Amino acid sequence: MDVIETIKDQISNNRVILYMKGSPNQPQCGFSARTVQALMACGERFAYVDVLSNPEIRANLPQYGNWPTFPQLWVDGELVGGCDIVCEMHEAGELSEVVAGAPESE
């Protein structure tokens, strides 16, 4: 399986997945640490991929998602965003709704 297929598989098989530097227990950058804290505060389970130990994913995911930096949060197959967006959503009370799968109001 090539790396793009691997990325597609990871995103489709995990409702909430975070591509980050390090792991939730040992983030390797401040942006990943802040994103993990916001996600954990929601109380929902999420999958993660350490892009530092997966250089092919680290090299190809920015093109796939059209997002240049890490971390990247994906929910229901859609890119939510990086650290600033995730933290802003958390502060506004929107992140837990997105992560929990609450229907969006129209």
The pLDDT of residue 87 is: 97
**Can you give the pTM of this predicted structure?**
0.93
Q: Digits of tens for pLDDT over the chain (106 positions)?
A: 799 999 999 999 999 999 999 999 999 999 999 999 999 999 999 999 999 999 999 999 999 999 999 999 999 999 999 999 999 999 999 999 999 985 544 4
**Binding site, annotated residues for glutathione:** 21, 58, 70, 83-84
C-alpha–C-alpha distance, residues 51 and 45, integer Å:
19
The pLDDT of residue 40 is: 96
**Binding site, annotated residues for [2Fe-2S] cluster:** 29
DSSP symbol at 47: E
Domains identified in the chain and CATH numbers? 3-100 (3.40.30.10)
C-alpha–C-alpha distance, residues 11 and 14, integer Å:
6
